[in-house]
């Protein structure tokens, strides 16, 4: 491709664009370079705020497929519907020099994208977030013919792509060892709107949450100038209250591949410790769980039945620009992500690191590329380990100096985490240029 002229790039996301931060970041970075971007996907939630500010990004929404009750027939029908819908949008939008497609899912996005690129002579770039075949195996079993077909499609089209990006060294090595596919690691990093949240920002944001957004939990009933976590000095500068609770956040898609009972049972241990005599001096705890998904109501009923006295759980839904500020107010984040392949890395941890919040993360093969145990967070393998971490981390909080020192040390380590622009410019920009 000619280095001097700006390119037309299409991005295919067979998912909700608003919940595809990595592909959204690709679009924003391409637009910053002056390339014209047509991003195709579902419009189930608000688009990133940066899309609205860029004249170079155009979005095109897929139409959701009407559902058929029979599972196999529904899958076939959805594949046909989506293939026609996707190819139609590719055909009627501007001719592309390159097409970047997210994988998974492989069917039909990889096939349709490859056919389109062959017809018009565009470059095909696949961004490997995980394997579609390993995700499918969770629901239909590894020996399913559908899993075998998906694996064959990924292998064949991965080899025929002009370039391949991937999210971890583990996937890079696996792609090459298993299928001979060469790829470039592009680590996820948060966008430019993520960063450390100052005390002033925290205080102002929590007041807005409490007063305007309806989250009464963040209001101080005795002082309208204070919040649950912060108060003001006589000179109007904010400070952290000495009687504040521990504040932890977790994000989830509420699906079967993320066992949220691990966190709930660890919190039950925390509550039981209070009821059993409180040998350790533990603070009250506020737990915020963000996200939407099919099992949300199931877990909310479970939480309600537990009748905790010292733990409060909230499940806020936040706007795109509010999310970094909200998670940046937390003392620590929790990730229960378990990879179907063991090779991908959770974006929720990247977001937390972007606002300098350390994490407690469920262990799997590739996690060590992101979380360094005892450095920027801690790794656990079961509810007992998570329970112990929560009690050890917050014993005597917030007056225990060693606890605060440990939390601050981990936050300090995250100052060098980096940002998306730096990584993208060094790895992806030369390919598009």
List the domain range (segments joined by +) for residue 223.
Answer: 199-416
- pLDDT tens across 373-382, in order? 999 999 999 9
Q: Please indicate, yes or no, whether residues 120 and 206 belong to a single structural domain of this protein.
A: no
pLDDT above 70: percentage of residues in the chain:
97
More confident residue, 80 or 258: 80
> Is 137 part of any domain?
yes
Contact criterion met (CB below 8 Å) for 314 and 215: yes
Residues 6+ apart with CB under 8 A from 352: 249, 327, 330, 333, 335, 358, 359
Q: Please indicate, yes or no, whether residues 129 and 244 belong to a single structural domain of this protein.
A: no
> Is 2 part of any domain?
no
Quick one: how far is CA 384 from the chain centroid?
A: 25
For residue 190, the model assigns a pLDDT of: 85
| Residue 117: closest CA among 61, 162, 57, 80 | 162
More confident residue, 317 or 390: 390
Which domain CATH number covers 112?
A: 3.40.50.2000
For residue 1, the model assigns a pLDDT of: 43
- 27-36, 117-126, 209-218: least confident range: 209-218
- Sign of the torsion formed by the C-alpha atoms of 131, 134, 140 and 144: positive
Q: Please indicate, yes or no, whether residues 219 and 140 belong to a single structural domain of this protein.
A: no
For residue 279, the model assigns a pLDDT of: 65
Look at residue 350 and tell me whether its pLDDT is greater than 90: yes
Q: Please indicate, yes or no, whether residues 178 and 44 belong to a single structural domain of this protein.
A: yes
> Is 236 part of any domain?
yes
- 47-61, 164-178, 212-226, 295-309: least confident range: 212-226
For residue 199, the model assigns a pLDDT of: 94
Q: Please indicate, yes or no, whether residues 426 and 335 belong to a single structural domain of this protein.
A: no
Q: Please indicate, yes or no, whether residues 232 and 356 belong to a single structural domain of this protein.
A: yes
Q: Please indicate, yes or no, whether residues 237 and 144 belong to a single structural domain of this protein.
A: no
> Is 388 part of any domain?
yes
More confident residue, 340 or 59: 59
For residue 108, the model assigns a pLDDT of: 95
Q: Please indicate, yes or no, whether residues 44 and 165 belong to a single structural domain of this protein.
A: yes
> Is 83 part of any domain?
yes
Contact criterion met (CB below 8 Å) for 181 and 103: no
Angle between helix 109-120 and 145-160 (nearest 10)? 30
- 72-81, 294-303, 331-340: least confident range: 294-303
Tokens of 40: 């195709």
Look at residue 262 and tell me whether its pLDDT is greater than 60: yes
The pLDDT confidence band at residue 4, using thresholds 50, 70 and 90, is low
The pLDDT confidence band at residue 210, using thresholds 50, 70 and 90, is confident
- pLDDT tens across 384-406, in order? 999 999 999 999 999 999 999 99
- pLDDT tens across 186-197, in order? 999 987 778 889
Contact criterion met (CB below 8 Å) for 227 and 219: yes
pTM over 0.75: yes
Residues 6+ apart with CB under 8 A from 156: none
Q: Please indicate, yes or no, whether residues 160 and 212 belong to a single structural domain of this protein.
A: no
Contact criterion met (CB below 8 Å) for 229 and 206: yes
| Residue 255: closest CA among 338, 155, 359, 332 | 338
> Is 1 part of any domain?
no
Q: Please indicate, yes or no, whether residues 371 and 424 belong to a single structural domain of this protein.
A: no
- pLDDT tens across 160-173, in order? 999 999 999 999 99
The pLDDT confidence band at residue 89, using thresholds 50, 70 and 90, is very high
> Is 3 part of any domain?
no
| Residue 136: closest CA among 114, 163, 154 | 154
User: CA–CA separation, 276 vs 310, rounded Å?
Assistant: 13
Q: Please indicate, yes or no, whether residues 25 and 82 belong to a single structural domain of this protein.
A: yes
The pLDDT confidence band at residue 277, using thresholds 50, 70 and 90, is low
> Is 194 part of any domain?
no
Backbone phi and psi for residue 17, each to the nearest 5 degrees, phi listed first: -60, -40
- Counted domains in the chain: 2
For residue 258, the model assigns a pLDDT of: 78
Tell me which residue has tokens 């909200």: 326
Q: Please indicate, yes or no, whether residues 176 and 266 belong to a single structural domain of this protein.
A: no
């Amino acid at each position: 491709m000619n280095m001097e002229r700006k390119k037309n790039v299409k991005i295919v996301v067979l998912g909700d664009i608003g919940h595809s931060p990595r592909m959204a970041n690709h679009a924003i970075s391409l637009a910053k370079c002056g390339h014209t971007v047509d991003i195709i996907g579902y419009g189930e939630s608000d688009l990133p705020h940066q899309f609205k500010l860029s004249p170079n990004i155009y979005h095109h929404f897929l139409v959701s497929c009407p559902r058929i009750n029979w599972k196999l027939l529904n899958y076939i029908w959805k594949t046909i519907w989506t293939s026609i819908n996707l190819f139609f949008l590719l055909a009627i939008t501007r001719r592309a020099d390159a097409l970047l497609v997210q994988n998974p899912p492989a069917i039909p996005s990889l096939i349709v994208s490859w056919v389109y690129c062959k017809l018009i002579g565009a470059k095909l770039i696949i961004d490997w977030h995980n394997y579609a075949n390993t995700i499918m195996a969770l629901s239909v079993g590894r020996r399913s013919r559908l899993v075998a077909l998906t694996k064959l499609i990924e292998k064949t089209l991965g080899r025929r792509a002009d370039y391949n990006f991937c999210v971890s060294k583990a996937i890079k090595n696996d792609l090459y060892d298993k299928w001979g596919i060469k790829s470039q690691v592009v680590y996820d990093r948060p966008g430019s709107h993520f960063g450390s949240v100052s005390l002033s920002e925290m205080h102002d944001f929590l007041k807005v949450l409490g007063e305007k957004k309806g989250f009464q939990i963040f209001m101080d009933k005795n002082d309208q100038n204070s919040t649950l976590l912060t108060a003001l000095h006589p000179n109007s500068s904010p400070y952290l209250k000495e009687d504040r609770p521990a504040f932890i956040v977790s994000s989830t898609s509420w699906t079967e591949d993320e066992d949220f009972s691990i966190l709930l049972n660890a919190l039950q241990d925390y509550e039981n410790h209070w009821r059993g005599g409180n040998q350790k001096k533990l603070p009250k705890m506020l737990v915020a769980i963000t996200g939407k998904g099919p099992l949300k109501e199931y877990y909310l009923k479970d939480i309600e039945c537990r009748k905790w006295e010292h733990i409060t759980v909230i499940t806020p839904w936040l706007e795109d620009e509010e999310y970094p500020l909200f998670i940046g107010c937390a003392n620590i984040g929790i990730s229960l992500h378990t990879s179907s392949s063991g090779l991908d890395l959770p974006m929720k941890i990247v977001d937390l690191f972007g606002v300098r919040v350390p994490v407690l993360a469920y262990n799997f093969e590739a996690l060590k590329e992101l979380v360094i145990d005892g450095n920027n967070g801690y790794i656990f393998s079961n509810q007992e380990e998570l329970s112990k971490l929560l009690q050890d981390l917050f014993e005597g909080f917030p007056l225990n100096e060693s606890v605060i020192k440990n939390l601050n040390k981990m936050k300090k380590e995250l100052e060098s985490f980096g940002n998306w622009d730096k990584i993208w410019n060094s790895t992806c920009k030369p390919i598009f240029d």
